[in-house]
């Protein structure tokens, strides 16, 4: 790369950092890339850091020592988070979403990559200081969420399957009780798709009693993996007994009546977990 | 937002443009956001444009007129594209990937959001000048690819399903012949998940004879939607008759022998479609 002025470096470094969340980048990397002194690079990074932190895009953390450098940790400020939750609540509060069984049609939201990216950034903001090695979800509708969170945390995604059309080599299966129907079902994860001992954040689009999430938590044990937390786009409040305790929810379905076409969605608990910075 | 110097504006504008691919952003948006004259904003954009185009991150196109502004179109230069394809070819050429039936284990690649983002950017680069309204794929393994492409093109994703555990309201189903087995199968898409008349790019992780892709092309007709193109991560060259004609492939599986554990993957055709800029 040719020698650049500060203005060019700022554009290029911003681009680079955004594409490498939660990775430690050495100052040497930048100083070689731009043929610039480390002192100039440090000054550039201060400008980026100030801007990112002021607007709540994320933190730029300096890691000292020989293997040190800077790490970009995506964040979201309270105002942007409130606006995002507000948009979701408004979008969900539409009676035409109501499906038989009290489910909600959500593919228009889940099918929107920009919205999913924002949701992923909000989860990543709340989880920024946790040690996480992988994001797990169950096919199909949790996948967009899982990739968005995985992207902003810089970690891989493991996809649990409920079907048997599987071409992924040796698999680990467990049985679990779907909370709503008490029906025994099977879920499966490829042996190679999660490293033993991983610290895992689990996500799904919708949680009723939490049977599917409970199944995934149980599946972690088979991989000697640890649960870091659970996140859902929508939790349903209409359950007598919840099979998981601790979770982050973006929105909460407090009332749905299929016959009378009534729906009531409010904000979930995630805003209370967002550090005010 | 408080008044910023050029250096701060460059960081913030770079961040904003990267999060809004293929959207027209008016100069007024930026000049109000930074309380800066449009002439200053134009100068900022020239700096960003030069940097993006020099490094091949994308084009910054000026749209004239009252509803005009700038549009960021993600791109990838030849060198980065060749490196990405090279990495994929190397990663795929491992005999431990071979699964019964001549399938390949690929979840480690598909489960890597950063890699998927790069692949999405490469597809978006090749497709930058096409008019595309949606990306379609089939659950499960095509989904990561579809979201990455959808993100960089700024369009929604439609997920076709092969199972029947579906809570998405009224559905459109078609039968299709899986090319490899000639077995008749069913695929389904929620009526609400694709707007009639959409121009659609279809992606999948793996293509043998192309029966599943052919099914999706046929499904488009039910939505009066048009096919813009097809993209796959891996095409298998070992087929006597292909059910789709025109497609982009990142890699090509030229030989796989389950018994002798031989695998041979080379580059696909996508590099020949990438404009040299």
Provide the chain A residues 100-159 that lie in CB contact (below 8 A) with chain B. 100-101, 103, 105, 107-108, 111-114, 116-117, 139-140, 143-144, 147-148, 150-151, 154-159
Same domain for B32 and B149: no
- Residue B91 C-beta-side C-alpha neighbours within 13 Å: 18
Closest residue by Cα to residue B41 from B26, B53, B27: B27
Give the span between the Cα atoms of B232 and B220, in whole angstroms: 18
CA distance A63 to A54: 20
pLDDT score, position B9: 97
- Which pTM value belongs to this model? 0.96
Shortest CA distance from B103: residue in chain A: A167
Name the residue in chain B with its Cα closest to that of A110. Answer: B157
Last residue of a domain, one of B74, B99, B121: B74
Domain check: are B155 and B223 in the same one?
yes
What does the angle CA B133 – CA B136 – CA B142 come to, to the nearest 5 degrees?
A: 140
Q: What share of chain B is helix, strand, coil (3-state, %, to 5)?
A: 40, 30, 30
- The encoded tokens of residue B208 equal 């043998």
Give the chain B residue nearest A98 (alpha carbons): B169
CA pair distance B32, B21, nearest whole angstrom? 20
**Spatial separation of the C-alpha atoms in residues A157 and A191, rounded to whole Å:** 14
Distance CA B176, CA B196 (A): 21
B86 touches chain A (CB under 8 A): no
Per-residue pLDDT of chain B (277 residues; tens, 9 = 90+): 778 899 999 999 999 999 999 999 999 999 999 999 999 999 999 999 999 999 999 999 999 888 789 999 999 999 999 999 999 999 999 999 998 888 899 999 999 999 999 999 999 999 999 999 999 999 999 999 999 999 999 999 999 998 766 668 889 999 998 766 678 899 999 999 999 999 999 999 999 999 999 999 999 999 999 999 999 999 998 887 888 989 999 999 999 999 999 999 999 999 999 975 4
Residues B221 and B159 in one domain: yes
Q: What is the DSSP string of B150-195?
A: HHHHT--EEEEBSSS---SSSEEEEEEE-TTT--EEEEEEEGGGS-
Residues A225 and A150 grouped into a single domain: yes
Q: Is the pLDDT of residue A189 over 70?
A: yes
Q: DSSP alpha helices (H): ranges in chain A?
A: 6-19, 27-34, 38-55, 78-92, 107-110, 113-127, 143-153, 211-222, 270-273
> Which residue in this structure is represented by tokens 């996948």?
A143
Q: Does B16 touch chain A (CB under 8 A)?
A: no
How many Å lie between the alpha carbon of A123 and the closest alpha carbon of chain B? 15
Q: B157, A113: Cβ pair inside 8 Å?
A: yes
> Which of B74, B94, B119 is at the close of a domain?
B74
B64 in a structural domain: yes
- Considering the domain architecture, whether residues B69 and B102 belong to the same structural domain is answered as no
Could you report the per-residue pLDDT of B77-108, keeping only the tens digit for each? 999 999 999 999 999 999 999 988 888 999 99
Residue B217 falls inside a structural domain: yes
Q: Look at residue A2 in the predicted model and tell me its pLDDT.
A: 78
B43–A contact, CB cutoff 8 A:
no
Give chain A's mean pLDDT: 93
Number of residues that make up chain A: 277
Q: Are residues B32 and B143 in the same domain?
A: no
Same domain membership, residue B265 and residue B220: yes
Give the domain CATH number at B141. 3.40.50.2020
Task: Report if residue B42 sits inside a domain.
Answer: yes
Q: What confidence score (pLDDT) does residue A232 get?
A: 98
Digit-coded pLDDT (tens) for A60-117: 999 988 888 999 999 999 999 999 999 999 999 999 999 888 889 999 999 999 999 9
Residue B1 lies in a domain: no
Q: Are residues A228 and A113 in the same domain?
A: yes
If you measure CA to CA, which chain A residue comes closest to B101? A167
Asked if B69 and B137 sit in the same domain, the reply is no
Q: Same structural domain for residues A60 and A87? A: no
A1 assigned to some structural domain: no
Q: How far is B244 from chain A (nearest CA, A)?
A: 23
Q: What is the DSSP letter of A97?
A: G
Answer yes or no: is pLDDT of A135 > 80.
yes
What pLDDT shows up at residue B166? 63
The token pair at B17 is 């443009």
DSSP state of B53: H
Domains: count for chain A: 2
List, in order, residues 6 or more apart from B127 with CB less than 8 Å away: B149, B153, B201, B228, B229
The verdict on residue B198 lying in a domain is: yes
Q: For residue B196, which phi and psi values (nearest 5 degrees)?
A: -55, 140
CATH number at residue A64: 1.10.10.10
Measured in angstroms, the CA of A114 and the nearest CA of chain B are apart by 6
What is the domain range of residue B82?
Answer: 78-276
Chain A CB contacts of B203 below 8 Å: none
Q: Are A237 and A253 in contact (CB under 8 A)?
A: yes
Query: Which of A49, A74, A99 is a domain's end point?
Result: A74
Please state the φ and ψ torsions of residue A79, each to the nearest 5 degrees: -65, -45
Over residues A256-275, the pLDDT tens digits come to 999 999 999 999 999 999 97
Q: Is residue B251 part of a domain?
A: yes
Structure letter (DSSP) for residue B237? S
Domain-embedded: residue B25: yes
- Which residue in this structure is represented by tokens 């080379």? B266
Q: What is the DSSP letter of A50?
A: H
Q: Rounded to an integer, what distance in angstroms lies between the CA atom of residue A268 and that of residue A270? A: 6
In terms of domains, do B55 and B112 share one? no
Biggest CA-to-CA distance, chain B: 69
B114: closest chain A residue by CA? A151
Residues in chain A closer than 8 A to B169 (CB atoms):
99, 105
Query: Cβ A10–B7 below 8 Å, yes or no?
Result: yes
Q: Cα-flanking dihedrals φ and ψ of residue B165, to 5°?
A: -90, 70
Q: How far is CA A90 from CA A96, A120, A248, in A?
A: 13, 19, 19
Are residues A119 and A160 both part of a single domain? yes
């Amino acid at each position: 790369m040719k020698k650049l002025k500060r203005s060019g470096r700022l554009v290029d470094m911003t681009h680079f950092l955004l594409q490498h969340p939660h990775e430690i980048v050495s100052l040497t990397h930048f100083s070689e890339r731009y043929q610039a002194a480390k002192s100039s690079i440090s000054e550039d990074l201060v400008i980026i850091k100030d801007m990112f932190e002021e607007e709540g895009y994320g933190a730029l953390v300096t890691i000292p020592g020989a293997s040190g450098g800077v790490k970009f940790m995506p964040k979201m400020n309270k105002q942007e988070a409130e606006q995002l939750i507000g948009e979701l609540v408004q979008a969900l509060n539409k009676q035409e979403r109501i499906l038989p069984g009290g489910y909600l049609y959500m593919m228009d939201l889940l099918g929107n990559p920009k919205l999913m990216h924002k949701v992923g950034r909000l989860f990543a903001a709340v989880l920024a200081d946790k040690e996480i090695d992988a994001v797990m979800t169950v096919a199909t509708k949790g996948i967009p969420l899982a990739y968005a969170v995985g992207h902003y945390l810089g970690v891989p995604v493991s996809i649990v399957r409920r079907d048997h059309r599987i071409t992924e080599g040796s698999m680990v299966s467990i049985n679990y009780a779907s909370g709503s129907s008490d029906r025994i079902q099977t879920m499966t994860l490829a042996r190679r798709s999660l490293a033993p001992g991983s610290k895992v954040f689990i996500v799904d689009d919708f949680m009723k009693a939490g049977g599917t999430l409970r199944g995934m938590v149980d599946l972690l044990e088979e991989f000697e993996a640890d649960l870091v937390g659970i996140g859902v786009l929508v939790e349903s409040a209409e359950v007598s007994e919840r099979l998981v305790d601790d979770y982050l929810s973006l929105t909460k379905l407090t009332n749905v009546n299929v016959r009378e076409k009534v729906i009531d969605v409010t904000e979930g608990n995630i805003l209370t977990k967002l550090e005010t910075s």
